[in-house]
Structure 1
Amino acid sequence: MKKILLFLCAATFFSTFSQTEDAWLYLKDKPNATTVLQNPIDILSEKALQRRTKLGISLDEKDVPIHLDYYNQLKNEGNIVVLGKSKWLNAIHIQGTVSQINGLLPNFPFIESIEFANKSLNTNGEKKEKKVPINHHDKFLKTLTDFNYGSAENQIKMLKGDFLHQQGLTGSGQIIAVVDAGFPNVNTLDAFQRIRENNQILGGYNFADRSENFYTRDSHGTHVLSTIAAYKEGEFVGTAPDAKFYLFITEIAETETVLEETLWVEAAERADSLGVDVINTSLGYTTYDNPNHSHTYADMDGKTTFISRGAEIAVSRGILVVNSAGNSGDDAWKYIAAPADAPSVITVGAVNSSGNIASFSSFGPTADNRVKPEIVGQGVSATIINYSTGGISTSSGTSFSSPIMAGLIACLNQNEGFTLKSETSSTNFNTYLKQALYQSADKFENPENQYGYGLPNLENALNSYIGAVGSLNDNFLSDLQIYPNPVENIFTISSKTQSPNNYKIKIYSVLGKMVFEKNILQFQSIDISALSSGLYFIKIFTGKQSKTIKLLKN
C-alpha cells in the first residue's frame, strides 16, 4: 500500500510539473530607458503627448517599451512560448511546464521574478477556493430581441445626457477606444455609415488573432459600440456620435483564459500611445477554464490581478477607463470582476428604464471595502443596433450600461478651454471630472453595494466639473466680478480692489472654442449680443494673472 501511495504522489507531482502553465516573467530593468525618454515622439503619438501636457502628467520608465534584447532572448528560448507582453508592468506572458519556467531564472539574469497564473505554484502560494466555471459561450448575458421601438431616448435622458448634447458636447475631439470581443459588420451596417464617412474610425487591432482585421469575431463589441457611436436619422443616436474610435479585440469569446488579461493590457498600452481619451471595456474576469487560474473574491482588491494593475496604470497615464461591473448579481459569485475592482476605474452597474437596479448587476464592495460600482446606467433592455439585421434591438447587461456612460463621459471631457496651472500639475482634470460625476449621483451620500453612488445627473456634473476646474485660477483677481449673470446682451466687469489697467478677455463656448476676444483699457461693459444663448466661460487676463468665470447668456 505504501508503494502505491508513493507512486500516486510521484505521479501527481510529475503531472503538476509537466503540464503546460501560464506565467508572467517580470524583468529587472529597461537599460535604454534614459535614451528612449529623450525622444518621446518615438514611443507616443503627438496626440498622446498633448494629452499628457494638458493633464500635467510626465513620462516615466513605464512608458518605455520592454528591452528588445531581453524579449528576443526569451522569444528564442525553445522550451517556452511567448504569448504577450506589457511595457507598463515590464512583464512577458509565457507558457511552458513548471520546470521549464522555473529553469529560466538561473539562465536569464534579467528576470526579476516569476508569477504563475496558478497561484499555488508561486512562492508562499496558497490554494484558494475555486468558483464553479460559468458557461463562457453566454458570458455576455445577451437577451436580444429585434423590437424596433424607435430610439435610445430613455437611456440618454435618464442621465441628463441630452443636456450635454444640447450644449454641443457630442464627443467631438475625443478619442474612445472600445476594447471588446469583436466588431463584425461595423464596416458595412448603415447605422455606422456616419462614423465611417466622417473618418471617425481611426483604426484598431485584433489582439486575439494578432491580425489587422478587427471587423470580425464575436458581435458583442458591435453591440457595445452602437450605444456610443451608431446613428439612424430620427431613430437612434449614440451617446457620443461625434467622437473618434479605435476598435480593439482582446476577448476570445469561445474560451476564458488568463491570456485575455495580458491582451487587454496590451490594448490599453496601444490606446495610450495613440492618444486615446476614454477606454470602454465591457469585459470582466473572475473564473477561467483552468480552475487553477481562477480568481477569488479576495483578489478583487484592485492590486492583485494582472489586468487591474494594468488598468490602474492606464488611468495614471491620463485615460478615463470605464468598465462594466459584471453580470453576476444572480450567481453564487455575485461580485464585480477584474478590472472593475481597480480603484481609479469608473465602474458601471445596470438599472432598468425606471432606474431600479438590475438583479444581474454585480455587487461591490471590493475586497478591501471600496465602493464599487460607483455609478449605474440603463442595462436592462438597453437600445442597441443588431449586428446581423442592422435594425434597432434591445439587449441586457452591464455590457451596455458601461458604454452608454463612457460616451457621455467623453462628452463631459470634451471641453478644451482651460489649462491647469503649472503649480497644480500633480492633479489633473480627470480627478475633478470623476468627482463631479460621482457627486451628481442620486445616492452619493448613502451608497449601496449594488447601486454604488447611483444614477448620475450629467447636467449637474457638467456645472460642478467646470466650476471646479475654473476655480483653479481664482487666486488671481479674487474680487473681480461680472454682472448681470445670467446676461441678456451686455455685462459689466468690476472689481473692488483692482484699479483700471490693460486687460484682455476671451470667451469660450463649452466646446472650448474661443468665440469672443477683446482688449480693454479698463473694466467696462461688454456687448455679446452676437453670441447665441447658452453656457460660456470668460477668461480675464492681466499680465500673468488670470481668472475664469462661468457666464450664462439667456
Structure 2
Amino acid sequence: MKKFLLLCLLFTCLAHAQEDAWVYFTDKPDAGYYLANPLEMLSQKALDRRANQGIALDEQDVPIHPDYITGIETASGITVMAKSKWLNALHVRGSQQAINALENLSYVDYVAFANQNLNNGRVMQPAQLLAVQNTQENYNYGGSAGQVQMLNAHLLHQQGYTGEGITIAVLDAGFPGVNTAAPFQHLMTNNLVLGGYDFVANSPDFYGGGNHGTRILSTLAGYTENQLVGTAPDAFYYLFRTENADSENPVEESYWVEAAEMADSLGVDIINTSLGYLDYDNPDYTYTYADLNGQTAFMSRGANVAFTRGMLVVVSAGNNGDDPEPHVMVPGDAFNALTVGAVDQSEQYAYFSAIGPTVDGRVKPDVMAKGFAATYANTDGTIATGNGTSFAAPVMAGAVACLWQAAPNRTNAEILQIVKQSADRYNNPDSQYGYGIPDFSIALEDALGMPEVNGNTFTLYPNPAANVVHFSATASLVTLYNTLGQEMFKAQATDTINIESLPPGIYTYVIEAGASSIKGKILKQ
C-alpha cells in the first residue's frame, strides 16, 4: 500500500512538473496593416538603418497577433515568460500536459520543449538566414592601451572615429553603478545612455542586477584619463538586462531575443553580448556539440534574424576552452555573429577561450581580441584587470563601431567581411584563433575604398535626378527603397533606369551585377 501511494505521488509530481517550451504560431494576420504602416512597429531610426542598407521590411518585423498571445495567457496552467515577433513564438512555462494541449489551438503551429527529449523527434524550424571626420583624439589609455592598440583602434580614434553617431545595445546581466561611478560620467554628462530595460525583473530600471554588464560596458564606453578608455567612448548606448546571474534557464535566451527585437525597433546598429549558454540547471535543457549548428538554439536563431534586420551582432566565444566541451557557446554558433575569442597581451591564445569549429564545420571563433588581463571598471569606479572572452567581445564591438562611423554607407555584411579579412590569419584560419586578430587600420582603408562592380569603379549620374539615371558599369538588377524601407522600384537594367514616376525624395538604391552588389543614396527631384 505504501509503495502504491509513493508511486501515485511520483506520477502526480511528474504530471505537474514545470517545463519550459516555445509555442510557435501559424501566421500573422495583421501583417498587411503593419507593412503598410511601418512606424507602428519600428522607429524612424530603425527604418533609416534598413533603408541605408537596402533591407526591405518583411513579416518578421510584424508583432505577434495579440489574440494569439491572449489565448496562450488564458490557457490553463500556462505562464508566458517572453515573446519573439521575429520567430513568431512565445516562451511558456507549465506542465508537459498543459503545454502539449496548446497544439490543439488552431493558430498554434507547433510546440518545442527546451528538453529536447520531450519533442518526439520534431525539429524546430530554422530562422531566415542571409548572408564626416571629427576632432582628432589622442587619449591617455593607461592600462587599457594594450587592448585598444592590439586592434589598432587607437589609429581610428586619432582620426576622430570614436563611435559617435553609432548606437550600441549591450545585452548582459545588469548595470549597477553605471549612473553613479566616475568612469561612466562621460556617458551620463553627454546623454549617451539612451535607455534600456530589465527583462529579468520586467522593470524599466536597468541599473540593477549583476555587475557583469557594468564591467563589460566599461571596456566599450568607460573613460578615466590615463587609466581606462573604452574603444567607443562617444557612441550611444542602450542597456538591456537579459541574464539572471542566480540561475541558468532557457528563458534567458528568450529574454535576449526580446531585447534584440527592442534594439532593432529603436534603430540600434550593433549588439554586444558577453553571454553564452551550454549548461542549464536542468540538465535536460543542456546543449551538446551536435546542437551548435547555428539554427537549433532559440538565441542563435534570434541572432541570425538580427543580422537580417541590418544590425551587427558581436558575441563572446565562451570561457570553456579547457572544459570537456570546449566549443563556442550559444549564440556564438550563429551564422553571421562576429564571435570573439581571447588572447593575452602577447597575442597568444588564452587557455580558457572557447574553440571551433561549429558542428557543421564553420570557422568559429571569427576573430580574437585581448581577454586575458583586460582592463575594466568596477561598479564603484575602481579600475581592475580580469580574464574572459566577455572582455574581448566589447573591445571588438567598440572598434567595429568606430569603423562603421568612418564608413556609414557600408552594410553590416560589408563591415563584417572587412573586419574578418583584415585579421592576421584570414588566409589560414584555425579552431583556436579563427581568422585571427583584426587590424582596424587596414579595415579602415578597405571600408573607405571606392566600391567596385566586377572590378570597375562604379558611378551613378546625375544625382539628384529627375527622370533618367545612368550607370558607368553594366547592372543587372536595380532596387530603390524609400525612407520607410519600402520597396518602390525594381527592374532589370543595363546602363539606365527611368524614375520619372517616383515621388520626389531621397531613395536608397541597391544595384546587383553578377555576384557583386552596391548601394547608396539618390535624390529624386
Please tell me whether the aligned partners of residues 474 and 547 of structure 1 are also in contact (alpha carbons under 8 angstroms).
Answer: no
Q: Secondary structure at the match of 1:152?
A: helix
Aligned to 2:134: none
Rg bigger for which structure?
1
Aligned to 2:157: 165
Aligned to 1:413: 404
Please tell me whether the aligned partners of residues 54 and 519 of structure 2 are also in contact (alpha carbons under 8 angstroms).
Answer: no
Query: For this pair of structures, how many residues does the alignment match?
Result: 446
Matched residue type, 1:162: H
Matched residue type, 1:322: V
Aligned to 1:102: 100
Pairs within 5 Å for 1:137-148: none
Q: 1:274 aligns with which of 266, 283, 304?
A: 266
Q: Name the CA distance, whole Å, in 2 between partners of 1:163 and 1:80.
A: 54
Quote how far apart the aligned CAs of 1:57 are: 0.4
Alignment root-mean-square deviation, CA: 2.4
Quote how far apart the aligned CAs of 1:471 are: 6.4
Q: Name the CA distance, whole Å, in 1 between partners of 2:63 and 2:440.
A: 38
Q: Name the CA distance, whole Å, in 1 between partners of 2:338 and 2:182.
A: 31
Aligned to 1:194: 186
Q: Secondary structure at the match of 2:210?
A: coil
Q: Name the CA distance, whole Å, in 2 between partners of 1:375 and 1:154.
A: 17
Note closer, same or farther for the CA distance 1:12–1:453 as it changes in structure 2 (3 Å cut): farther
Pairs within 5 Å for 1:283-362: 283-362=275-354
CA shift digits 1:432-490 (9 cap, x unpaired): 21111111111111111011111111101111122264669823499xxxxxxxxxxxx
Q: Does 2:216 align with 1:218?
A: no
Q: Does 2:399 align with 1:399?
A: no
Note closer, same or farther for the CA distance 1:23–1:195 as it changes in structure 2 (3 Å cut): same
Quote how far apart the aligned CAs of 1:8 are: 9.2
Matched residue type, 2:432: Q
| TM-score, length of structure 1 as denominator length | 0.77
Q: Name the CA distance, whole Å, in 2 between partners of 1:175 and 1:195.
A: 13
Note closer, same or farther for the CA distance 1:72–1:468 as it changes in structure 2 (3 Å cut): farther
Please tell me whether the aligned partners of residues 76 and 98 of structure 2 are also in contact (alpha carbons under 8 angstroms).
Answer: no
| TM-score, length of structure 2 as denominator length | 0.81
Aligned to 1:41: 39
Q: Name the CA distance, whole Å, in 2 between partners of 1:547 and 1:100.
A: 50
Aligned to 1:474: 457
Please tell me whether the aligned partners of residues 299 and 367 of structure 1 are also in contact (alpha carbons under 8 angstroms).
Answer: yes
Note closer, same or farther for the CA distance 1:9–1:121 as it changes in structure 2 (3 Å cut): farther
Note closer, same or farther for the CA distance 1:213–1:376 as it changes in structure 2 (3 Å cut): same
Q: Name the CA distance, whole Å, in 2 between partners of 1:547 and 1:70.
A: 39
Please tell me whether the aligned partners of residues 150 and 392 of structure 1 are also in contact (alpha carbons under 8 angstroms).
Answer: no
Q: 1:119 aligns with which of 116, 119, 125?
A: 116
Aligned to 1:55: 53
CA shift digits 1:39-84 (9 cap, x unpaired): 1011111110000000000110000000011111211223211111
Quote how far apart the aligned CAs of 1:17 are: 3.6
Please tell me whether the aligned partners of residues 452 and 458 of structure 2 are also in contact (alpha carbons under 8 angstroms).
Answer: no
Aligned to 2:443: 461
Q: Name the CA distance, whole Å, in 1 between partners of 2:374 and 2:69.
A: 44
CA shift digits 1:483-528 (9 cap, x unpaired): xxxxxxxxxxxxxx9xxxxxxxxxxxxxxxxxxxxxxxxxxxxxxx
Q: Secondary structure at the match of 2:315?
A: strand
Q: Name the CA distance, whole Å, in 2 between partners of 1:416 and 1:459.
A: 13
**Structure 1 unaligned blocks of 5 or more:** 127-148, 419-427, 479-496, 498-545, 549-554
Note closer, same or farther for the CA distance 1:547–1:318 as it changes in structure 2 (3 Å cut): closer
Q: Name the CA distance, whole Å, in 2 between partners of 1:393 and 1:103.
A: 52
Q: 2:171 aligns with which of 173, 179, 182?
A: 179
Q: Name the CA distance, whole Å, in 2 between partners of 1:239 and 1:42.
A: 35
Q: Name the CA distance, whole Å, in 1 between partners of 2:415 and 2:78.
A: 45
Q: 2:413 aligns with which of 431, 434, 447?
A: 431
Aligned to 2:23: 25
**Structure 2 unaligned blocks of 5 or more:** 124-140, 462-471, 473-517, 521-525
Q: Name the CA distance, whole Å, in 1 between partners of 2:360 and 2:5.
A: 43
Quote how far apart the aligned CAs of 1:417 are: 6.0
Matched residue type, 2:428: N
Quote how far apart the aligned CAs of 1:151 are: 2.8
